[in-house]
Structure 1
Amino acid sequence: MLQKKQFSNALAITSSLLTRYPDNIDALYLTAVCHRYLQQPQLALSTLNTLKSYHPNYARAYQEEGHNYRLSNSRSAIAAYEKAVQLNAALIASWKNLSELYRAEGQEWSADHAQNQVDYWSSMPQALVSVSSLINEDNVIKAEEICRFFLKKQPKHTEAMRLLAAIGVKHKVLDDAEFLLESCLHFDPEFHQARLDYVNVLHKRQRYEQALEQALLLRSKSPDDVRYQMAVANESQAVGEFNQSIAIYNSILEQLPDNSGVLIMLGHAYKTVGDTDNAVAAYRKAGACQVNFGDAYWSLANLKTYHFSTDEIAMMQRHEQAPTTAFEDRFHLSFALGKAFEDASDYSQAFSYYAKGNALKKQQLRYQAARVDAECKAQIEVCTPALFSKQADTHSLPNTLSKQDSRPRPIFIVGLPRAGSTLLEQILSSHSMVDGTMELPNIMSLAHRLNGRGGNDRPKRYPQVLAELSTEQLAKFGDDFIKDTEVYRQGAPYFIDKMPNNFRHIGLIQLILPDAIIIDARRDPMSCGFSIFKQLFAEGQEFSYNLEDIGKYYNNYVELMDHWNTVLPGKILKMQYEAVVTDFEEQVHRLLDFCGLPFEEGCLDFYKTKRSVRTASAEQVRQPIYQSGMQQWKHFESDLGPLSALVSTLK
């Protein structure tokens, strides 16, 4: 019907289909196309927002959005097309329109780059264009099948190798992806997109110094390419060179002063180093440069110390209600409005917006509480006293002990997010013998590698595989952890890993790093649960967008920590947040004693310590201890029934 231009008839069919299947991706997409051809752009954009709420990474939705904005709003059209090709580089129509729009705006370099992409993908075999689209549509199995079949005939085709690496990233088989990209660059060292993908894979594998080297190489080949400048800035941040990254972001902004994405990254860098005034300025400008840009307002709210004016709140409400506001902007705005109304003591409005933001964000995710429950129970079943006693004799051998004594000793701070782990890290990092780092992903990455390749429906190898690992393998994993985390340390005898989710892997930590110190950052379940609920996390923490899911996760956490304390008695120190706040000095002494550290006055004055902090509590830990937030959840008690029903008996 579309080919015959019978758009009204086609619309009647898709509308009927959507009454039965409201999230059907094809019906939503075709409905939007019909509205555009019927010259109903507002209906088309509204349909596309619905489509993106169900399928937020569907590239063709953004391309269609660009088509709707094409004649009326060139800036919005460019943003939509850029998002489309970011998700699926093979969308030739988006590249064509970007080339024209860039040239009309006087952005000659960008226009030439877009035209080069048109030429590149137009010459590409149709099979590989299909693979690119299938990857974006999450049909990874079919994409891999086509790609591997193609490579059997043309084993050195570099674009096919790059796409297969992208499939490996989707499968989280990062070692395969890294090898494929290395091979790709061996055959074609000038394949810049493959090298940029290589930077991203190295970053995911926490090989930040190598990633920075590759980013610098890209920039040397094409100094004016903003993507490569951004890659250098981002990897400079990853290795702790924040001043360098800030200088690069500012340099880019001299060329592109209204680029909201760069402004947001600049604001994050300023926030990390404690320059709040400049962070606020960058976030505000980002919001001014892009209409309805929710991330700018959430970034301000996420400073935790910023208070919105009445006019700002009214403006955010208008943005949130606007039909043209994108799905991701809407939930960012909802979380920001929740914080704004909470600060204004309008708790009913605050919870309404928190609930809306969480509901929208949860639509993006595929979180299954039952899967986490099964994984935690598997840890309890596998990690028995017998498993640890088998390793104990080996780790007590003289040569093993001497190696452990000569290397930095890790301190793992585990628990739930928003439970006070950043405060404990800041206290310990204020000690002269301790290096603070960040939430290191190394242990979770190792657990994933041990689990083997495969989707969620395939049998799990981890944690069962722990019983099969040799002493040599376990020792190597421990040595690798110390080596791979060296980039974050400054040479102190102790260093911190505060990834909270490591509580699910304490058995693995004990086996590979038996000298590790483990701190359990614990907080009242209602206070912690509500604090999690009102936090929009940058990534991960998928359990956090539903009160019932939070309650179930907290129960899994307590059950698993009880198990670790049973099978590893005396190994873990529980630090209760409420006790730290109300009896601070005694709890600091208790913490230092457990770690074997002599008392230093600086640990009491932790808020004076100058260091980068990358978590949501960055600004809070730069202030003295305060008790005002301990009972904040009580203002929302009547709305927290689903959480209370699951955690009311826990501590």
Structure 2
Amino acid sequence: MTEATAKSPKPEQASAIPPDVERARHAVEALVSQNRLDDAIACYRGVLARHPRLSGVHAAIGALLRRQGHHEQALQALETAYSLQPNDPSLHTCLAVVLQEMGRIDEAAAQFRHAIALAPDEPAHYLGLVRLQALKAEDPALAALHRLAAQESSLTPSRRASLHFALGKAMTDTGAPQAGFSHILRANALRRASLSYDEQTVLGAMRQVGTHYTAAMMALPQTGHSSAQPVFIVGMPRSGSTLVEQILASHPEAYGAGEVSTLVDTIKEAARRNPAWKSPMPFSTLSETDCLATAEDYLARMNRLAVDWTGTAPPRLIVNKMLDNFVHIGLILRLWPKARIIHTLRDPIDTCLSCFSIPFDHLDFTFDLGELGRYYRQYRALMAHWEQILPAGTILNVQYEDLVQNLPHHAQRITTYCGLLWNPACLRFHENRRIVRTSSLAQVRTPLYRSALHRWRPDDESLRPLLDGLGRTP
């Protein structure tokens, strides 16, 4: 559930592309669609053996390496691309994205500023910058944003949305939150107009889950996989989930895999073998052997993601922070009865306003206040259902406001729930250099702060669609 980031350069942007490079590009696209990333990288490296100065091919390799989690290698490939084509702003944005995920925030911000200098009319560069740094009133980038806004009619709707998201963040940071919210409203309206979000289908699917997973069904004897390795963090975006994952991932026995689609990917693969997996509640028609094979497939996939794990043995715990796995809690506990599920919560309005301020990819419900409020209410209804039908203590609720006010206590609650002995490194989460890809990647690189508590809110009239969606009375 990461926010929109700068697009990677095309494999080659020269005016004349050698025919073998074009063939390689098509081959790589096919390999990537099959998730054969090693083969795709090897294909492009074969091109470089013949054409070593193709900047775009080096950059494309860097993008694939980043996707695999090999950020140091990705950085080397992108730096090579930059040495061949230093005036390509897209290379600076690619470098910025890799650096920010590595925790090198100041260097990443500098790369976004280089991109702005080369292409001052591209709003995405400013958006990348303001997500990392709070601009000051005298910052030249802020003046440039206002100049760009004066001529926004020349921009496409997508670029106008990026412009207003950037201005919304910048104006809020400079002490003008009302003006900032006005820009955020415009940005979201532009994004929402480009989407085909089917609210009834999404909310209906959530409601249907509760009808399949009943207390009686969840109380049936369970065999399941014996592994206690899986940990799932679920909830809403901007609810403190990245902080919780960072705390856990700072423990020497735990690995944070981030927001990965591995659970859904595993079930889709299982459905290709047995159509029963297409059902929301498939277990009545599945054999124990099939269930164990699917559970083992997920574990194998998650362990393969731990490319930068330095321990001599596999991680004792691997954390999956794909937040909408709250829909699959029943399935998770049937497959792995010993799995841990951590539910992160934050004040509903603060959560929703924070979601509304960020141009997330693949979170179509976040671009309209009413839809956002209704999604939140249905998610909380489903979480209440799980709490009602599962034994007490199955799910650990972590309230963001409580965590921020008393980090030592709640960090120990989290590690104890996960079966880990306490390790003080969990309180030094900001020193952890692990890769972080979420919208909170800059925040978890700094010591804990309380400025996000009770964030500024617009008046109730401006918030009325959200309040109605949440079911709040005036």
Deviations 1:583-636 (A, max 9, x none): 222111211111111111111221122222111111111112211111114355
Q: How many residues align?
A: 455
| C-alpha separation in 1, matches of 2:40 and 2:51 | 17
TM-superposed CA distance for 1:287, in Å, is: 1.7
Deviations 1:460-486 (A, max 9, x none): 944154543332222112111111122
TM-superposed CA distance for 1:580, in Å, is: 0.5
* Structure 2 counterpart of 1:549, from 358, 363, 371: 371
Matches within 5 A, 1:350-499: 350-390=180-220, 392-395=221-224, 401=226, 404=227, 409-447=229-267, 461-489=278-306, 490=309, 491-499=314-322
Higher relative contact order, structure no. (Cα contacts within 8 Å, ≥ 6 residues apart): 2
* Contact kept in structure 1, 2:302 and 2:318, CA below 8 Å: no
| C-alpha separation in 1, matches of 2:126 and 2:459 | 23
* Structure 2 counterpart of 1:600, from 412, 416, 423: 423
* Residues 372 and 466 of structure 1: CA distance in aligned 2, closer, same or farther (over 3 Å): farther
- Percent identical pairs in the alignment equals 27
Amino acid in structure 2 at the alignment position of 1:298: L
* Structure 2 counterpart of 1:230, from 53, 59, 69: 59
* Structure 2 counterpart of 1:201, from 29, 33, 39: 33
Larger radius of gyration: 1
* Contact kept in structure 1, 2:344 and 2:398, CA below 8 Å: yes
| C-alpha separation in 2, matches of 1:440 and 1:644 | 31
| C-alpha separation in 2, matches of 1:221 and 1:463 | 50
**Structure-1 residue corresponding to 2:4:** none
TM-superposed CA distance for 1:336, in Å, is: 0.5
- SS across alignment from 2:355: helix
* Contact kept in structure 1, 2:261 and 2:322, CA below 8 Å: yes
* Structure 1 counterpart of 2:138, from 281, 293, 309: 309
* Contact kept in structure 1, 2:135 and 2:170, CA below 8 Å: no
* Contact kept in structure 1, 2:372 and 2:469, CA below 8 Å: no
The alignment's C-alpha RMSD in Å is: 2.9
Amino acid in structure 2 at the alignment position of 1:442: T
* Contact kept in structure 1, 2:232 and 2:342, CA below 8 Å: yes
Amino acid in structure 2 at the alignment position of 1:112: A
Q: Which sections of structure 2, spanning at least 5 residues, go unmatched?
A: 1-7
* Contact kept in structure 2, 1:199 and 1:212, CA below 8 Å: no
* Contact kept in structure 2, 1:526 and 1:633, CA below 8 Å: no
| C-alpha separation in 1, matches of 2:196 and 2:188 | 14
Q: Which sections of structure 1, spanning at least 5 residues, go unmatched?
A: 1-81, 87-106, 121-189, 453-459
* Residues 387 and 307 of structure 1: CA distance in aligned 2, closer, same or farther (over 3 Å): farther
Amino acid in structure 1 at the alignment position of 2:469: L
TM-superposed CA distance for 1:577, in Å, is: 0.5
Amino acid in structure 1 at the alignment position of 2:326: F
| C-alpha separation in 2, matches of 1:428 and 1:548 | 34
Deviations 1:546-589 (A, max 9, x none): 11111011011101111122222232111011111112221112
* Residues 548 and 232 of structure 1: CA distance in aligned 2, closer, same or farther (over 3 Å): same
- SS across alignment from 1:413: strand
* Contact kept in structure 1, 2:161 and 2:188, CA below 8 Å: yes
| C-alpha separation in 2, matches of 1:482 and 1:218 | 35
* Structure 2 counterpart of 1:575, from 392, 398, 403: 398
Question: 1:331 aligned to 2:151?
Answer: no
Deviations 1:154-204 (A, max 9, x none): xxxxxxxxxxxxxxxxxxxxxxxxxxxxxxxxxxxx94233211243144x
- SS across alignment from 2:433: coil
| C-alpha separation in 2, matches of 1:377 and 1:365 | 23
| C-alpha separation in 1, matches of 2:40 and 2:464 | 46
Amino acid in structure 2 at the alignment position of 1:554: Y
| C-alpha separation in 2, matches of 1:388 and 1:219 | 55
Question: 1:113 aligned to 2:20?
Answer: no
* Contact kept in structure 1, 2:232 and 2:319, CA below 8 Å: yes
TM-superposed CA distance for 1:298, in Å, is: 0.4
TM-superposed CA distance for 1:386, in Å, is: 4.0
Structure with a larger share of its residues in helix: 1
TM-superposed CA distance for 1:227, in Å, is: 4.2
| C-alpha separation in 2, matches of 1:313 and 1:393 | 58
**Structure-2 residue corresponding to 1:558:** 380
